[in-house]
Structure 1
Amino acid sequence: MYVCLCKGITDSQLRAAIKDGGSEFKRLKKELAVGTQCGKCVPVAMSILAEETAKNAVYYEVA
């Protein structure tokens, strides 16, 4: 699914960047340019970031 139509960024690309250590939105913004044009994708991108961060926190907590 496309998260950012302006830059053509998909949720898979966003999730991969988060898994590679992009735990802050400003890093994702710099790395992928998500949210740098119209900004309509920011809420969805932030939601995916929160979701992936929570998954990683649970994983580390259990492991």
Structure 2
Amino acid sequence: MYVCLCKGITERQLKEAIAEGNTEFMDLKRELGVGSQCGKCIPVALAILAEETAKNAVFYEVA
């Protein structure tokens, strides 16, 4: 699925960039250019970022 039509960025590209350590929106903007033109993709990109970082989060049990 295309997330950013202006730059032709797909959901897969976003997920790969997040997996490579780009865990802040500004990292994705710098790396891929997402959200750098019209901005309509920002809410979807942020949702994907939140979903992917939650999957990769390490939870610690408090004793």
TM-score (norm 2): 0.91
Superposition RMSD on alpha carbons, in Å? 1.1
Paired residues for 1:52-63 under 5 Å: 52-57=52-57, 60-61=58-59
Whole-Å Cα distance in 2 between the matches of residues 31 and 17 of structure 1?
Answer: 8
Could you list the runs of 5+ residues in structure 1 that have no partner in the other structure? none
**Structure 2 counterpart of 1:16:** 16
**Structure 2 counterpart of 1:51:** 51
Identical aligned pairs, as a percentage? 68
Aligned residue pairs total: 60
Whole-Å Cα distance in 2 between the matches of residues 31 and 53 of structure 1?
Answer: 17
Q: How far did residue 61 of structure 1 move?
A: 3.5
Could you list the runs of 5+ residues in structure 2 that have no partner in the other structure? none
Larger Rg: 2
TM-score (norm 1): 0.91
